[in-house]
A and B are shown apart, each in its own frame.
Chain A
Amino acid sequence: MNSVVAGITYRALLGRRRIFLLLLLPLALIGLAVMLRVFGGDDPRSAELLMAKFAIGTMLPLLGLIAGTGVIAPEIDDGTIIHLMSKPISRPAIAQTKFLVAASLLAVFAAVPTYFAAWLLVGNEDGLAAGFALGALVAGIAYAAVFLLLGILTRHAVTIGIIYALLWETLVGSFVPGAQKFSIQQWALTIADQLSGTPFLTANVTLGFAVPALIIVTLGAVLWAGQRLRVFTLTGDE
């Protein structure tokens, strides 16, 4: 963790219009929760649906994409990353710092709004709000790592990330039973299910699989990202 790298990264992500991108989806989630409450849909069943389909299923991977790639891809694109990398700081330390920044942004912009939206609907009933918030937090951390790696591996991180987030996580992850085992979203739901006592949520992946999978994916992606930065190559214009 390097405080200078973290400071510059926070400023790059929050200081400009990009912060609206981070705010848009959580505001939509809270807006939906408010509407459900106003129009009388604030039962545990619709709360669970909103959380599983929108908060975890849509908002989280997209925010993960914005924050995870956002902490590094623009800097690689415009060459500003050289400022950080031409210093006596180990490249894995730069990757780890970027990861921590992305993970913290997801905690603030995904996990907290998830808790708040669920709380608006059902209060603290059945531990639903806490369960989904924890699920969003852990899955957000994993997404931060995966999308950070993607942002280093390819210049088309956003395109590939959107295809992954929408196609794999949303469609395949929800409908193809075998693929569900390898979906960060499903792991998040497993954790949410574990903590909440709601009868409407049933996890498709066991906790014994989801927890190690989350840890391995997160650590693996951060370590790989560090190694990729070590061999980061500048290609000249010529």
Chain B
Amino acid sequence: MNIELAQVSRWYGNVVAVNDVTMTIGPGVTGLLGPNGAGKSTLLHMMAGFLAPSGGTVTMDGTKIWKNHHIYKNIGLVPEREGVYGFLTGWQFVLSAARLHGLPDPVEAARKALATVEMEEPKDRRVETYSKGMRQRVKVAAALVHDPPVLLLDEPFNGMDPRQRLHLMDLIRSMGTAGKTILFSSHILEEVERVAQQIEVLVAGRHAASGNFREIRRLMTDRPHLFRIRSSDDRKLAAALMLDSSAGGVSLGAGGLEVQAVEFRRFARLLPRVARAEGIRLHEVSPADEDLESVFAYLINRSA
């Protein structure tokens, strides 16, 4: 099944949270990547029928999602907020989901869903005694109980320990391979890269990039990088670096040298070579803009 977004916008008063986004989420695993505040949750809520688009349409195989409770036969939703009744046991929670779906054999469906997320052993404990990762898994089980063709997960790996994370990643991957349409949001590139075949990047409410992880990774490494360098002779190093085309600009300050590298790979090889040839000792080489925000800022400028 496909989820189609056509020129979708969402604003709150004067604030635009999602700006003219058009994308189709098809079978397989899609990662919705973007920094916090990029509008990922807003977009996901519109796909899940919990928010009306201000403009454009959100549909599932041509059916409107907003104000249509029938879509939940085909959608499993794992919201970001806890949203689990603490006074129920894990078993009761998942079983209630199966019953709310009106499944013919709710007990068997709940048992299967809990087995899928490896939560059989603590299933008779109250949810309020669970760790964050366990709650997350129970939520996933409740979302999977009716075996939906579409699964939406909002920041599913948050708060999970590494082992649980790997397990959920495997689970998501295998469901994607089995032909389910899965979308999950994350602000961590590595997470998205490991699970998703398709990556949609959202920055400041805009659809900044789209592609498989190789394409997105290339976009991110090929962008200009800014390095901060301290060495035994900054001025001499600056002069030597500027001779190569991979260095776009150099500025000399009290704190050291800042170099704008146009070609990341080439510059990475160039720097140690030049330093050795000139007899300069490098004290510190640090990327000045390695945080995701600047990567995203670059993407948004590129797409604008």
Judge whether A80 and B48 touch: CB under 8 Å.
Answer: no
Bound: A91/B48 CA distance, A: 15
Cβ of B79 < 8 Å from any Cβ of A? yes
Q: Interface extent on A, as a size class?
A: 20 to 34
Contact of A4 among B48, B77, B79, B96 (CB under 8 A): B96
Complex A-B: 10 CB contacts under 8 Å? A4-B99, A4-B100, A82-B83, A83-B97, A87-B72, A87-B101, A90-B69, A230-B67, A233-B52, A235-B51
Known: A231-B67, A238-B42. A82 touches B50 (CB 8 A): yes
Judge whether B79 and A79 touch: CB under 8 Å.
Answer: yes
Bound: A23/B97 CA distance, A: 31
Cβ of A154 < 8 Å from any Cβ of B? no
0/1 per residue, B111-122, Cβ < 8 Å to A?
A: 000000000000
Contact of A88 among B37, B87, B102 (CB under 8 A): B102
Residues of A within 8 A of B (CB): 2-5, 7-8, 11-12, 15-16, 78-80, 82-91, 230-238
Bound: A94/B71 CA distance, A: 16
With a CB–CB cut-off of 8 A, which chain B residues contact A11? 85, 87-88
Contact of A238 among B39, B50, B77, B99 (CB under 8 A): B39
Q: Interface extent on B, as a size class?
A: 35 or more
With a CB–CB cut-off of 8 A, which chain B residues contact A85? 50, 69
With a CB–CB cut-off of 8 A, which chain A residues contact B85? 8, 11-12, 80, 83
Interface of A is mostly: loop
With a CB–CB cut-off of 8 A, which chain A residues contact B143? 86
Cβ of B228 < 8 Å from any Cβ of A? no
* Least CB separation from A233: chain B residue: B51
Bound: A1/B39 CA distance, A: 36
Cβ of B82 < 8 Å from any Cβ of A? yes
Closest Cβ of chain A to B146, distance in Å, is 9
Bound: A105/B70 CA distance, A: 31
Bound: A230/B50 CA distance, A: 9
Known: A8-B96, A233-B50. A91 touches B69 (CB 8 A): yes
**Additional A-B contacts beyond A86-B143, A237-B41 (17; CB < 8 A):** A5-B100, A8-B85, A82-B77, A84-B100, A86-B50, A86-B72, A87-B72, A87-B97, A87-B101, A89-B69, A231-B67, A234-B51, A235-B51, A236-B41, A238-B17, A238-B37, A238-B40
